Amino acid sequence: MHFRLLQDVANFVYPPCCVCCRGAADEGAFCSKCEEELSALAAAHACERCALPLADGGACTRCAGEGIYPFARIVALGAYREPLRESVLGMKYRHRWPVAEILADRMLGLARVRALLDETDVLVPIPLHWSRQILRGYNQADCLARRLAKYRRGLRVVYPIVRLKNTASQTIVRSIADRDANLRFAFGLIDRNAVRRKRITFVDDVITTAATLKAAARAMEEAGVVEINGLVIAVADPRRRDFQVV
Ligand SMILES: [Zn+2]
Ligand SMILES: [Zn+2]
């Protein structure tokens, strides 16, 4: 009763607004328009191995169904466009870390995400460089992973790698070759026992060419992991055309 009253007062002072467009959200975290668009993004056809959004029934133009080495599969909530884009930017750059939990809950609503977590022993959030983490105050991938770990007992979040280089943001490094070079030796293994003989799933916010995930996987080479997967909020178009030409 008291809680209900407090909630009503809070809603009056701070009316619930949409995580993406800041418009009115009657229920849940999104307004009805963004909610509809988000559901469409999550339901859109995508490659089962690398999560690239595809035209219905089309073969994958990135991995031809083979996946991205060394990942068994990469799973995403949807394409990096509204309402996911604005939600992710708010989560990363505007201190809206609770958005990570809202998006994690959306991910847990998808059968493909639950299927991946059923076959995952440990979640590994992609670490930020310590200097960036201090400036931001949190790592959004860690917020995401911790919420995803609530999916089932025994699913743990571990921290076997650190980021050694404070690399330029991948979104401003243009070519695929530059992205790989930018990230060479970007991560270092500090705890192989946390992942030895485990099926691991990296957790991150957005992938474009998957260069960051591949660099993190490279740091695992000597760790004796059984399988590597990726789980991300969104997939951005490597050709920067927002998947208009699929
Ligand atoms: Zn909205
Ligand atoms: Zn693919």
Whether 115 shows a pLDDT value over 70: the answer reads yes
Determine which of 25-34, 131-140, 164-173, 234-243 has the lowest per-residue pLDDT on average. Answer: 164-173
Q: Give me the number of domains the chain comprises.
A: 1
Residue 82 belongs to some domain of the structure? yes
Q: Output the CA 167–ligand 2 centroid distance in Å.
A: 26
Expressed in angstroms and rounded, the spacing between residue 24 Cα and the centre of ligand 1 is 7
Quick check: is 24 in a domain?
A: no
In the reported structure, the alpha carbon of residue 51 is separated from the centroid of ligand 2 by a whole-number distance in angstroms of 6
What per-residue confidence (pLDDT) applies to 28?
Answer: 82
Q: 212: CA distance to ligand 2 center in Å?
A: 17
DSSP 3-14: HHHHHHHHHHHS
| CATH number, domain containing residue 205 | 3.40.50
Is 25 among the domain residues? no
pTM above 0.75?
yes
Q: Do the domain assignments include residue 9?
A: no
Q: What is the mean pLDDT of residues 190-196?
A: 97
In a domain, 155, yes or no: yes
Of residues 87 and 56, more confidence is placed in 87
> Does the pLDDT value for residue 246 go beyond 50?
no
CB contact at 8 A, 156 and 122? yes
Q: Enumerate residues with CB within 5 Å of ligand 2 (an ion).
A: 47, 49-50, 52, 60, 62-63
165 within some domain:
yes
Per-residue model confidence as pLDDT tens digits over 12-60: 555 678 989 988 887 789 999 999 999 999 999 999 999 999 987 778 9
Classify residue 32: in a domain, yes or no.
Answer: no
CA of 29 to the centre of ligand 1 (A): 9
Please tell me the number of the ligand nearest to residue 31's CA. Answer: 1
- Asked whether residue 81 is domain-assigned, the answer is yes
Residue 165 domain boundaries = 48-235
